[in-house]
């Protein structure tokens, strides 16, 4: 494993499980010092312990991104510990219940907007304000460009993140800051397990050209590349990592 992130500090939100955990561990293996954020301390500490066991360094800081003031406090702690910030994977989000869009209650929509859209926007905005040249990566979703019934409210917030990514990229580019998004397909995370029963999971994998659903580690390599200098001329892009699920071809 190379050391693309040696002497780099990267913040990962939603780092206690799923894609956040996988990306944090990948970045640590490539030399990054990590700031791990999430709402619960115990899963974050488990990830930090894994990183420490391989000689890495990680700072655990419970933080709810739905609170902009909590983001600011968390960044104060990060800067006091590391003295710099070079990248952020804005991964934290909320799926909500599978509900037909016509039946989504306003308060359920509000929660998704508050966490997925505003929380991510505030995370990236406040990180960019603390960085010099660096990279931000937003976790969007394949549902922003394709349809899965029941996820309409969630997909709307993720489509908003795709737009936010492009605007951030244009506004931050002159400062040497890159902003991209990643749109994972069907990834078998603990959050996905809340809504995917065995039959639905099988039907989704059968629709995928690679004939399987994704694992968190399938996202980690692409995320690390986009946060690294290897993607130094890539900004404003939304990279889909879905095993071909959204291609829509006729399967043989």
Residue with tokens 């692409």: 222
Look up 234 and say whether it is catalytic. no
Tokens of 64: 């709810």
Nearest to 89 by CA among 183, 178, 11, 171: 11
Q: How far is it, in rounded angstroms, from Cα 92 to Cα 14?
A: 4
DSSP of the chain, one letter per residue? ---TTTT-EEEEESTTSHHHHHHHHHHHHTT-EEEEEES-HHHHHHHHHHHHHTT--EEEEE--TT-HHHHHHHHHHHHHHHS---EEEE----------GGG--HHHHHHHIIIIIIIHHHHHHHHHHH-SSEEEEEE--GGGTS--TT-HHHHHHHHHHHHHHHHHHHHHGGGTEEEEEEEE-SB--HHHHTT--HHHHHHHHHTSTTSS-B-THHHHHHHHHHHSGGGTT--S-EEEESTTGGG-PPP-
From the list 5, 154, 168, 245, the catalytic residue is 154
The residues annotated with a catalytic role in the active site are 154
């Amino acid at each position: 494993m190379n050391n693309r992130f040696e002497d780099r500090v990267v913040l990962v939100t939603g780092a206690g499980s799923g894609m956040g955990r996988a990306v944090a561990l990948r970045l640590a293996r490539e030399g990054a010092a990590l700031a791990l954020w999430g709402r619960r301390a115990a899963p974050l500490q488990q990830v930090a312990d894994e990183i420490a066991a391989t000689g890495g360094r990680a700072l655990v800081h419970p933080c709810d991104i739905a609170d902009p003031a909590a983001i600011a406090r968390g960044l104060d702690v990060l800067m006091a510990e590391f003295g710099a910030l070079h990248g952020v994977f804005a991964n934290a989000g909320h799926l909500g219940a599978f509900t037909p869009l016509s039946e989504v209650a306003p308060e359920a929509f509000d929660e998704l907007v508050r966490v997925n859209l505003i929380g991510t926007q505030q995370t990236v905005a406040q990180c960019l304000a603390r960085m010099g040249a660096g990279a931000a990566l937003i976790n969007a979703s394949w549902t922003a460009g394709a349809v899965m019934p029941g996820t309409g409210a969630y997909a709307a917030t993720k489509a908003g993140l795709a737009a936010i990514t492009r605007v951030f990229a244009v506004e931050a580019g002159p400062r040497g800051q890159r902003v991209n998004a990643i749109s994972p397909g069907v990834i078998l995370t603990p959050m996905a397990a809340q809504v995917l029963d065995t039959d639905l999971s099988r039907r989704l994998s059968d629709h995928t050209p690679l004939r399987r659903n994704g694992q968190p580690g399938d996202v980690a390599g692409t995320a690390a590349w986009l946060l690294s200098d290897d993607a130094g001329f890539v900004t404003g892009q939304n990279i889909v990592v879905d095993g071909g699920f959204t291609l829509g071809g006729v399967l043989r």
